Structure formats: C-alpha cells, structure tokens
C-alpha cells in the first residue's frame, strides 16, 4: 500500500515539489496507463495525461469533478454500489472481474477499459487509485478472432488448461447437436465417445506436455459423440494457444462422414465389380469351351465334305474362340490379384527373378536376348504375384523388341522404405502420350498381327504393385527403348 500524506500534493501544478516528488509526479503524469485518484465521495483528486487523453478532456477539466462523469449512464447505479463496497473493505483488486467495463468519453462515446483499483491510506482517509487501460485494440482483435472462428466451416472448440470449453462456433453446435450455452464451461469430454472418455484427460495432458500444432490421433479413426448419443467420424487438428493462464487448445473438428460414406461406397462397388469380373470370366469359360470343342470336332469330322471357304470360316471361328478364352483367362487373373492374393512376406526377389528367367528360357533363346541383372534384394511381397509382375515386364521387354536383339537390364535401388526396381530394354519404345493408357486393362498400342497380346499384362502389374502399397511407372521414347520402374517395401521395414 502506498503511504501518501496528502494526495493533492501530487497534482500536476504543485509549486513546491522536491526533486523526488517531481520524478514521482512525472512517472504518474507520463505513464502509458490512465491513472485517477478518487476519494470516498467519488470526487476526482488527481488524473494523469493518459486519463485525460483517453476520455477526451483537457487538463483540469476532471480534477474536482465526480468520477461518475467517466461512467456510462446505464452503469451509474452499479458503480455507486461498487464504490461503497470498495471503501467498506479497501483492498487491491480488479474492477468488475469477468464483466466488460466501459468508460464514457467527453464526446459521449464509450471505450472498453480494464480497471485496477488500489486503496491509498492518507491522513485524510482512504482514497482509491485507479489504473485505467484502453482495451479497444484488444477487443477488436478478439472480435476479429471470434468472427474468423465463427465463420470457419470446421467445428472450432477452444479448451482451457482444465479441459473446459471456453469458445465454440456455430459449426460445433451443428456437428454435435448442442446449443452453445450447453457447451461453454463444460468439460470437452462430453463430446468424446464413452469408451475413450476416461482416457481423454491423459490425451490432453500429453498434448500440454508437448504443445505443437498437429492432427489428433494420427492414423487412428476418431469419433465425436453427439447430444443424441450417436457418433460421427471426425478429423481433429490441435493448435496450442499460449496465454497467461496456461496453454489453451484450439481444436478444429471436421465431420468426415461424407468422405467415409463415399469411401465405403467405392469399396463396395469395387468389390462388386471384382466379383462380377470373376463370376463372369469364370462362368463364360464353360460355354466357350463347348463352342471351341464342337467347332474343332466339326472341322475334323467334316473337313473333306466342306469346301475351302467353309473350312476357313471354321478356322476363323476357332481362333476367335481361342482368343476369347485367352481374354477371359487374363481377366480372371486380373480379378484374382485382389481376391486370391497371398499374405505379404519376406521374399527374396533374386530367387523369384531367376525362376522367371528360367520360365522365359525359350523366348530368350528364340529372340537371342541378353539379360543383365543386379543381385536383387529381399523385400516384403506376395512371391507368386512378384513372379507374375516380373514375368509380364520381362515378357514385354522381349516381345516389344525392335530390329536388334533385345538387351534387358534389371536393377534395384533403395529409396527410403522402398526398393525401386527398374527393367530397361532397347525395344520399340512408347510415346509419352500413352504412358497412362498402357496401364489400363485391354489397352494396347498395336494390332494383334504386329505383337500378340490381350492388353491385360500391365493392368495386372499395376494392380499387384498397388496391392503392395507401391507405385509403377514408365520412362521411354519411341525408338529408344523403355524402362519400367516399380517400388515395393524393402525388407528391413
Ligand atoms: P500386351 O502386352 O498384352 O499388349 P500390356 O498390358 O502388357 O499388354 O501392354 C500394353 C501395351 O503397352 C502394349 O500393347 C504395348 O503397346 C505397350 N508396352 C508394354 N511394354 C512395352 C515395352 N517394353 N516396350 C514398348 N511398349 C510396351
């Protein structure tokens, strides 16, 4: 408590001030905070420049007047009561804690203020020394923050260090089905599903111990609990906000039910499509076999009785049926990539490659190809599908050769958690405009007479690589060979 004998001695005009008094006076006079001393009757006995500036008065217009002239009319009643209370038990305090305070300016406008009160005991009784801070800028910043939060398309929830919701926006009300008044001041746990509610304070404590902006529960499915007890899948971003009262958390909540529904619909439709492809290709084989075998019977038994045209027509029909059989078999293989895949396991890619080279021995010899390969590493894969993958890529490298004998180069490079395999050839190459198309089922760039095939091979490769969590792509120029790259998870992972 400041001991002052006569507060009037500190009025700006005092003629007999000692050096120390002058210093003290200028301290008050030029303080960036408004200062006003008031007696128990509410009379202003001292003000500084900042108070005059804040309220728009010139020097000496305030001293001797009632403090009420600085209080908005509508607050006068409660102000008188408050003053009486203060002088009954004078102690240092904030004025109107928790309520918004306003000052009345000379021009009739109001300014938001924060007021601290200190009792000052003198021979002439107790005075109150009020410090007044203009909080217009802070209020404006707060208002802007509120507008931004309110306008956010995400649910925004500000949680205090005790886990109570201090601010929620309209979207939060909509998402969780509560009125704002039902949420404010309540523990945030009321928005958390029952089964994880008990654990949630630990989650908050962990965040407070390492406060960084980050998604909540990365990699896990999060749910929010609505007022009606239903749960919604959500994605939550957490942002720490440091305040003098500790670390607050601003959580942004996005309802991901539409995305989940779309993913589920896509999964179901993919499954149906695969079932359809499987059933169709499986069931189509039987009648096709009948057609083929009766055509062949016809040709064998009646060849001498038919004329040249008829025999030719039968040959066309048989080769058409055989082609269809191949297409159906490839389609079946394609649909089996996801339905009949084996578990991913530690696989020695080198052993698999040697098996593939052995299988292609005839084609290699026939095309006079030379094959150079690194020692391939161990990876995590379905060995049967890895064999299929290498078989298709190596088969294509031999098939799409130019005029020279094929030279194929197979390498593997570690890139992060993946191994990148590359199969380069010196064949006819591919125009970059077709890089995407060749991985689509039944898409081919050549006629059957130039190069045999069904256009399913690369689609199978893509499906296999994607089932393994990797990527497949091609680099090529027409006439300069092609290199197909794909990535699979390396063994150490
Ligand atoms: P298919 O080999 O039955 O035609 P793919 O799906 O394996 O079917 O390949 C699709 C198309 O991609 C091929 O028709 C060919 O035009 C092109 N292609 C694939 N591999 C190569 C390669 N190594 N060199 C040049 N073109 C290729």
Confidence class for position 493, pLDDT limits 50, 70, 90: low
Averaged pLDDT for residues 179-195: 96
Output the furthest CA–CA distance in the chain (Å, rounded). Answer: 143
Position 27 scores a pLDDT of: 87
Averaged pLDDT for residues 246-261: 92
pLDDT of 397 above 70: yes
Position 98 scores a pLDDT of: 66
Confidence class for position 363, pLDDT limits 50, 70, 90: very high
449 φ/ψ angles, rounded to the nearest 5 degrees: -75, -30
| Range from 100-104, 205-209, 345-349 that averages highest in pLDDT | 345-349
Q: What is the CA radius of gyration of the chain?
A: 42
Averaged pLDDT for residues 181-199: 95
Distance 454 CA to ligand 1 centre (A): 9
Averaged pLDDT for residues 404-433: 96
Residue whose token pair is 């006076």: 25
Q: Which residues pair with 415 in a beta bridge?
A: 418
Residue to probe by mutation, ligand 1, list 334, 458, 462, 465, most atoms within 8 Å of CB: 458
- Do the beta carbons of residue 71 and residue 103 sit within 8 Å? yes
Averaged pLDDT for residues 392-404: 95
Averaged pLDDT for residues 5-30: 66
Out of 37-41, 144-148, 267-271, pick the least confident.
267-271
If you ran DSSP here, which 8-state letter would residue 428 be given? S
Neighbours of 402 (CB within 10 A): 14
Average pLDDT over the chain, rounded to whole?
Answer: 90
Distance 398 CA to ligand 1 centre (A): 10
Q: Could you read off the pLDDT of 124-174 as tens digits, one per residue?
A: 889 999 999 999 999 999 899 889 999 999 999 999 999 999 999 999 999
pLDDT of 8 above 70: no
Position 16 scores a pLDDT of: 58
pLDDT of 14 above 70: no
Position 7 scores a pLDDT of: 46
Out of 46-50, 335-339, 485-489, pick the least confident.
335-339
Supply 422's token pair: 């590359």
Confidence class for position 4, pLDDT limits 50, 70, 90: very low
Position 111 scores a pLDDT of: 94
Distance 396 CA to ligand 1 centre (A): 6
Report which protein residue has its CA nearest ligand 1's atom 1: 455
Ligand 1 is surrounded, with C-beta below 6 A, by 392, 396-397, 400, 425, 427-430, 438, 444-446, 453-459, 482
Residue whose token pair is 């601003």: 250
Separation CA 88–CA 126 (nearest Å): 10
- Do the beta carbons of residue 128 and residue 41 sit within 8 Å? no
Position 219 scores a pLDDT of: 73
């Amino acid at each position: 408590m400041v001991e002052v004998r006569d507060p009037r001695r500190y009025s700006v005009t005092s003629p007999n001030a000692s050096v120390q008094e002058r210093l003290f006076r200028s301290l008050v006079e030029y303080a960036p905070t408004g200062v006003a001393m008031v007696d128990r009757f509410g009379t202003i006995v001292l003000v500084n420049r900042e108070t005059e500036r804040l309220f728009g008065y010139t020097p000496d217009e305030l001293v001797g007047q009632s403090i009420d002239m600085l209080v908005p009319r509508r607050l006068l009643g409660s102000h008188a009561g408050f003053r009486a209370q203060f002088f009954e038990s004078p102690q240092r305090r904030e004025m109107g804690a928790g309520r918004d305070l306003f000052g009345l300016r000379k021009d009739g406008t109001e300014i938001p203020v924060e007021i601290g009160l200190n009792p000052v005991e003198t021979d002439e009784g107790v005075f109150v020394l009020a410090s007044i801070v203009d909080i217009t800028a802070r209020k404006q910043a707060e208002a802007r923050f509120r507008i931004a939060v309110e306008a956010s398309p995400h649910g925004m929830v500000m949680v205090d260090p005790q886990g109570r919701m201090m601010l929620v926006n309209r979207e939060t009300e909509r998402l969780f089905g509560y009125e704002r008044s039902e949420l404010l001041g309540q523990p945030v746990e009321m928005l958390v599903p029952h089964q994880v509610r008990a654990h949630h304070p630990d989650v908050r404590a962990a965040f407070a111990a390492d406060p960084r902006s980050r998604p909540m529960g990365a990699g896990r499915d999060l749910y929010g609990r609505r007022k009606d007890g239903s749960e919604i899948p959500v994605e939550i971003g957490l942002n720490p906000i440091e305040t003098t009262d500790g670390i607050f958390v601003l959580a942004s909540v996005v309802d991901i039910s539409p995305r989940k529904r779309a993913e589920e619909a896509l999964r179901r439709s993919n499954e149906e499509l695969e079932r359809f492809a499987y059933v169709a290709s499986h069931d189509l084989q039987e009648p096709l076999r009948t057609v083929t075998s009766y055509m062949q019977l016809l040709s064998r038994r009646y060849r001498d009785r038919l004329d040249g045209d008829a025999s030719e027509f039968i040959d066309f029909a048989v080769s058409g049926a055989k082609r269809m059989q191949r297409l159906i078999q490839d389609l079946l293989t394609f649909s089996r990539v996801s339905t009949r895949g084996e578990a991913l396991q530690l696989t020695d890619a080198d052993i698999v490659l040697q098996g593939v080279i052995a299988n292609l021995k005839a084609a290699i010899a026939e095309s006079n190809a030379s094959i150079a390969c690194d020692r391939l590493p161990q990876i995590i894969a379905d060995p049967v599908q890895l064999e299929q993958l290498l078989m298709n890529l190596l088969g294509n490298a031999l098939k799409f050769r130019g005029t020279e004998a094929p030279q194929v180069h197979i390498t593997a490079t570690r890139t992060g958690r993946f191994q990148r395999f590359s199969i380069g050839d010196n064949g006819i190459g591919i125009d970059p405009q077709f890089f995407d198309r060749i991985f689509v089922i039944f898409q081919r760039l050549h006629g059957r007479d130039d190069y045999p095939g069904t256009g399913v091979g690369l689609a199978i490769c893509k499906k296999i690589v994607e089932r393994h969590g990797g990527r497949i792509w091609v680099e090529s120029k027409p006439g300069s060979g092609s290199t197909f790259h794909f990535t699979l998870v390396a063994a150490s992972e």
